[in-house]
Structures are given as structure tokens and as C-alpha cells.
Structure 1
Amino acid sequence: MLCKRTLFFGALAFLASTALADESCVNSACAVDNPYNFTSGLSTPTPHLSDNTNPVATGAMAGAVPIATFGATCDDAALITASTSERTIVIPSGTTCTVSNDLTLTTKTPWIVEQDALFLIDSGKAMCLHNAIIAGFYQIFYGNGAVSCLDNPNPTWWGAKGDGVADDTAAINAFVVASAGKDVFVPPGTYNTTGSGSVIVNNGTTIRCSGTHATIFRSTTASPNGGQLFNLLGWDSRMLSCGFSASVTQTGGHYVALRGRNAILNDWYAENDFNAVLMTGVLAQTLNGVLGNGSAGAIRATQASLLRTSPV
């Protein structure tokens, strides 16, 4: 009787611990473990940040077919035909899919893009790809064209390294454009950038970083191009859990400009800035921010005045 009772209560304890683990994931930021935010049950390996790559295993994808099934060349026609398939599509390593015309594709299943496979978007052309792409933290988009409509983009897909050495400006700005209206994830790393230029964080876009000291956007010019690293001009645009720094003395500009209505910067850290945050949008807010040492001659007054939640 004692043995049975022990087994019974042991089973209850196991079930309770499992339920608590599931609840803790629901109630916390699980994006680092599941950066793609899938709910389909597909298993995606956790990226290895040491080499900034993450080859995606396709063996578990029952019924997946290669893009070559839909054409000897991965071109506009093959992509259009593949988008109508009920099967999961794999873009194998070594494949180049060339987009020569504007395309709007609504796929029925996720597409798996293996490492060293790529989409080459011709200059002046745009690909709008509705539905999820499954890929690791490696580059999959090349060329001077535009990509949009993705469910789950991250900046490494445009070549961002996050190694604190490479210039990630173009990749970050392309990622911001592709993220319009989405809730997206930025993996850990130090991303060097010269500024946003004319690129804006659009309406309803949320950029989630991996933590204030895990994901750091670092200004590499004395005054960021466009006046800031990120321009939250869209209504209800958000940046969460991000860090900001600089590799050179800042003499002007901002890390983040909150210009949109109800734009919010929450859970953030900034150092070496000239003026970390510009807040002019109606109902714009900064929440849970921490300021390190500013640049010599920084114009910010005090941490309290910067962190107020009313527009300046």
C-alpha cells in the first residue's frame, strides 16, 4: 500500500510540475527559446549564437517536397506554383530563387529555407510572402529588391551578423521594413548601425529584443543617419527589452525617436548617448528604462525627466 501511494503522489507531482512549466512559458517571454513563435507544433532547433547559424533539420517534416518539384529553375513561375501546394516546401541548400517581377504569394504551408539557399530579389522588385518561413539565423534574402508580409522575420535573414564588427545597418533597416505590422524577434548580439535614415517602425509593429544586455544596437557614427537609430513613427509601435550603445562619441541625434501616437519603448538600457530618447508622439511612453553614462556634452537632463510618460 505504501509503495502504491508513493507512486500515486509521485505521478501527481510530475504532472503538477509539467503544468507549472507550461504555464510559466505562457506567462513569460519564451521568444528566445522559440523565436519563430510557431503554434503549429513544428519543431525548430534553437539557434547556436556562437557561429550565428542554425541549419534547419527537414527530416522530421513528413511530406515536405523540394522547390525543384515545381520547376527546373527556382524562378517566379516556380514560386507561384509552389505557393498553391498543400505540401510543405523546402528550398534546399545551394538553391537560388530569383524574383524578377513583383510577387504576392500566399502559401498554404510554411516554407523551409535551408542554410546557403537564398532568394535573390531584383532591384526595384518586391516579394510579398504571406505565411511563415522556417529558417535559422543566417542570410536568406539578397539583392536590392524589397521583401514584405513575412510572419516571422529576423535581421539575420538579411545578413545581419550581430557580432559587434560588421556593419548591420542595411540588414536592420530591411528587417524593419519587412516587419511592418508584425510582432518580431531580434536574437542576441551587438548590431552595429549608422541609423535608420528614412526607414520607420510602422503602425502596430513590435520589435522584441532578447534582453537589454543581450541585444544591443550600437551607433557607429557620431550622429545617426536620419537623426536616430530607430524611428517609431507608427501608431502603437513598440520596442521591448533592447539595449543601446555607441562605439564613437555621440554629438547629436537619438537612439530611439518616439514620434507615433502611443509609441512605447519598454524595458531598455542606454549608454554613451547624446540624447537617448526623443519623445514627441501623443501618448508616447518610455517605461522601465535605465541610463548608463552619457557621452561628454550629452544634452539629456536627468533620468527622471527622460523617463516621464508624457510627451515632451
Structure 2
Amino acid sequence: MRSGSLRERNGHDWIDRFTSWLQQTQHYLTVRSEVISADAAVISFQTEWMRNQLLPNSTKTPSVLSSLEPLEGLVTDGAHKYWSNPNAILLTTSSFDSVTDLWAPGLFTYTNGVSSTHYKYHFVGVFEGIAEAAAAQSISLYDAMFAMVVDFSDPQRIGFVEAFEDFFELHDAAIALLKGCQYHYDKSVTRVSRVASAVPSDKCSKFKKYCRILRTTEKSDTFFQVVKKIRKLCPSVEPWLAWWLRPEHASMIFPSQMTMDPTLVKQLPSTTNAEEAMHAKIYKIAGKGHDLIDGLDGLLKVEAHHHGQHDHALGM
């Protein structure tokens, strides 16, 4: 753990404080990861209520209980201003709470970076929580439970796949459970279209039109015909286009290239905007620039806020 992010007097003081925090919260908190290594420092945790939010909404509402109901989708993203150390990230995976009609946190993770190793530990915690919650309700696991909307960060994608492989020892299934963020693709199109040397102003409108077709067509032949048109129209965007055409990226955003079940694709959110809104709510409730222990306490306040809204909506 980086001492600079903790502002503690010495390592012993921090260890004592963290141990004390674990003891004080152990009766209602499950720590999924406590990793301090040369590769990563990761602390993941959730309450039982958070854990249960990771299940499909149909499994939370007995009147509509159906293990065949696909998950609305899990959304994962990182908040970069929560901790005092600029290198530290707060990763949060959220799910849609049908009781409050709001997104609710399912797992909080402190990381000292955003490598695939950091994401792997986070996603393993998510998967463990889902499996544990399902077992507690005698629900059989099915693939759609683990469907995830992510950004196009390679570390995030690789971390998800590695975590899924470790958890289920399956690779192809993991790839098929990832859906890319439509917003990030559209934003990338807008950004490259503003580079005059890559997309001349008189070709900008047609370039954007072709890029929209890539994101909407379900026909593979149409997709590749449009790819050829983009290459001919704007040869200088080739490096950008090649990145999006890489199979691991194309399969996450372009319908004609996706390996995810089409029904599941339609039920997942198109962007990670819900998680970005969650960050704003976290900042409002708990503030920013926290040292580790104070930050962990702040996240418990965030959980209490969402948990309280849920119980109030149920009339409890």
C-alpha cells in the first residue's frame, strides 16, 4: 500500500487502524479481497445487502421469481477523485434496483492502479458475491447473471476475462458476457472527426454516418462494406479504425461482430453513464480526497444511503 495515499505516521499505525476497522465491521461486512503485493494493492468489500443487489431483479422479488429472467446488467467504472492519492482508484460495480428505480452499489474496491491485475481482483469479488447470494437463495447460476457493461479499457476487459477464467475456467463465455459502452465509442468518433488531418471537414458528415452504421448494422457483409468505405474516404484514420476492429473490441460494440446473445444485448444498458452518475452521488454523500480508513467509512455511508432508500421504498 502506498503510504503517500494514507498520510499515516508509519506503516504500523496504518496496519493497526485497518485491523481495527476490520474488527469493527466484521459482523456486517464481507471483505472479498485484501491483496498487497508487488503487482497490486486491492481491498474489496460489500455488505450482505450490496451482495444481494448483484442478483437479477426477478430473484429479489418473490412474486416474479424466475431464474430465466436475464440481468438488467452490471455496470463497472472507476472514480478517480475519491482517494487522496492520485494513483488510487475507487472501482464500483452497480446493478439496477427495481425497488427504488435507481442504480445501487454491489461492490466497492480500493486499488492503487488500473492494471488488469487490479480489475481481476475486483471482478473475482463480484463473481464471488453473485455466487454466494445465489447459493443463499438456492438459485442456480446462469451466464446472464455475470453480464457486464464496461468501458473499452484493455486492462478492464482482460481483468474481467481472467477473473471469469479463474472462477469458471471458461474463456469464450467470458468474452460473450462483455458489452462495450456505446457512449465511449460515439465519443471516440466525435474526437477523431475533429482532427482535420484525419477527417477533412468536407468528409466529416459522411464519416460520422458510416461510423453510426458500424454501430447499428447487424449484417456482417454490410459492416465490412462500410469499413472499406471509411478506409477509402479517410485513409488517415486507419490506426484508429484498426483499434476498433480488433476482435476483442469489435465483439463488444458492433452488433454484427458480437458474440453475446442478442436478447441479452438488448437488456443491458448501452453505456456506463449509470456508474458515472453513481460517482457523483458518492462524492455528494462522502466527499473526495480521502485517506484509506476515512474513505472506507465514507463508503459505508454510501451503502447506508442506498440501503435506506431501498427499505423506505418497501415501507420498512
- Name the TM tier (shorter chain): under 0.3
Larger radius of gyration: 1
Would you tell me which structure has more strand in proportion to its own residues? 1
Would you tell me which structure has more helix in proportion to its own residues? 2
